[in-house]
């Protein structure tokens, strides 16, 4: 009877996965979140042996596989995601004012393992997200903050916007991630430019001085690819600024900017990001004694191990969870059981 029930769950799971691929990706995402909130067929947490469990900012994780920012923008499924086997969750990106984002459609499947999005930082305002985080039971989450999606919020106003979110959200979770690769000017410049980055981090340090707020982490863009001469130079500059500001860790990395001939400007995730993210992670982990979290293009255990072998404490997934060959409600369990974490 147990085998029959298990076979039925597997059949239902795979059927749901293939059905979701027949509808637009953003609708599939929303339907997936709806199912997770209700814990439909949730397999339960995946807890590795004590000696294999990573420690991130003093928190022992059940396993090293996290759910990346972008899936749970509004802190609606943190506890549920742990019940689906993820080791931790990154909420966001959250913006101070929130917003509806860009017009739909704004998420596109380019192939089985590459997604493009131009969401426009849609989501609830930071004050609303803070109220949800106040009742989250699990401590195993980080909060990702970005600037409100408006090209008219410039300079000091852009810093004030991020500080507004920080003051509302920084007391929650294991860490606060600052998404510095979202454009904050009409020209598309980002806080990864050394000057604006130094100003932003100085303001954040002033805001967190004397508090017991969680560590501050910076999420970087794949344009800072150390394999490319310009990218390596820019990455060194960004790291120098971050280290001077005593940033506590790094996430490698965000989506890859693209100007698609059919879908316009946006960001690529999945296979397009993984090689660059792993190179960045290895570059940073080899030079600094700060925690590094990998992010991008994880579809199997080898991809996860590729991050861990390059010095990452943990790595985050999004695309693979909803589109990869192991996708479905037991994604984390399938992936983590398919190999042994390297020492």
Active site residue ranges:
182
Cα separation, 27 vs 20, in Å, equals 8
Cα separation, 165 vs 99, in Å, equals 14
Radius of gyration of the chain (CA): 19
Cα separation, 200 vs 197, in Å, equals 5
Cα separation, 310 vs 127, in Å, equals 37
Nearest in space to 133 (alpha carbons), one of 170, 180, 87: 170
φ and ψ at residue 243, rounded to 5 degrees: -70, -35
DSSP of 193-244: SHHHHHHHHHHHHHHHTTS-PPPEEEEEPTTS-TTSHHHHHHHHHHHHHHHH
Token pair in block for residue 327: 């996708």
Cα separation, 71 vs 317, in Å, equals 9
Residue with tokens 């890859």: 256
Cα separation, 307 vs 143, in Å, equals 21
- Strands 114-117 and 65-67, sheet pairing: unpaired
């Amino acid at each position: 009877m147990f085998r029959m029930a298990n076979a039925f769950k597997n059949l239902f799971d795979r059927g749901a996965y293939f059905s979701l691929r027949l509808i637009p990706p953003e609708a599939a995402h929303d339907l997936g979140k709806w199912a997770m909130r209700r814990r439909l067929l949730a397999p339960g947490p995946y807890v590795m042996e004590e000696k294999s469990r990573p420690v991130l900012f003093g928190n022992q994780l059940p396993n090293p596989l996290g759910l990346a920012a972008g899936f749970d923008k509004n802190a609606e499924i943190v506890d549920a995601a742990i019940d689906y086997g993820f080791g931790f969750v990154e909420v966001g990106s959250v913006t101070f004012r929130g917003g509806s984002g860009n017009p739909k459609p704004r998420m596109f499947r380019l192939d089985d393992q590459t997604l493009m999005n131009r969401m426009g930082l849609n989501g609830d305002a930071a004050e609303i997200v803070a109220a949800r985080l106040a009742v989250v039971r699990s401590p195993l989450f980080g909060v990702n903050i970005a600037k409100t999606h408006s090209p008219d919020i410039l300079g000091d106003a852009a810093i004030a916007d991020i500080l507004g979110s920080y003051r509302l959200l920084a007391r929650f979770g294991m860490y606060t991630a600052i998404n510095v690769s979202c454009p904050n000017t009409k020209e598309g410049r980002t806080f990864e430019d050394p000057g604006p980055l130094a100003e932003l981090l100085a303001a954040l340090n002033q805001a967190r001085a004397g508090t017991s707020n969680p560590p501050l982490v910076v999420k970087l863009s794949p344009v800072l690819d150390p394999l490319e001469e310009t990218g390596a130079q820019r990455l060194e500059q960004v790291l120098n600024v971050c280290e001077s500001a005593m940033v506590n860790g790094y996430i490698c990395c965000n989506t890859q900017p693209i100007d698609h001939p059919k879908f316009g400007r946006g960001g690529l995730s999945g296979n397009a990001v993984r090689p660059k993210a792993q190179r960045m992670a290895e570059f940073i982990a080899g030079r600094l004694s700060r925690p590094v979290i990998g992010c991008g293009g994880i579809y199997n255990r080898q991809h996860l191990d590729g991050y861990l072998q390059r010095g990452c404490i943990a790595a985050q997934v999004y695309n693979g969870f909803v589109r990869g060959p192991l996708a479905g409600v037991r994604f984390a369990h399938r992936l983590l059981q398919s190999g042994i974490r390297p020492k």
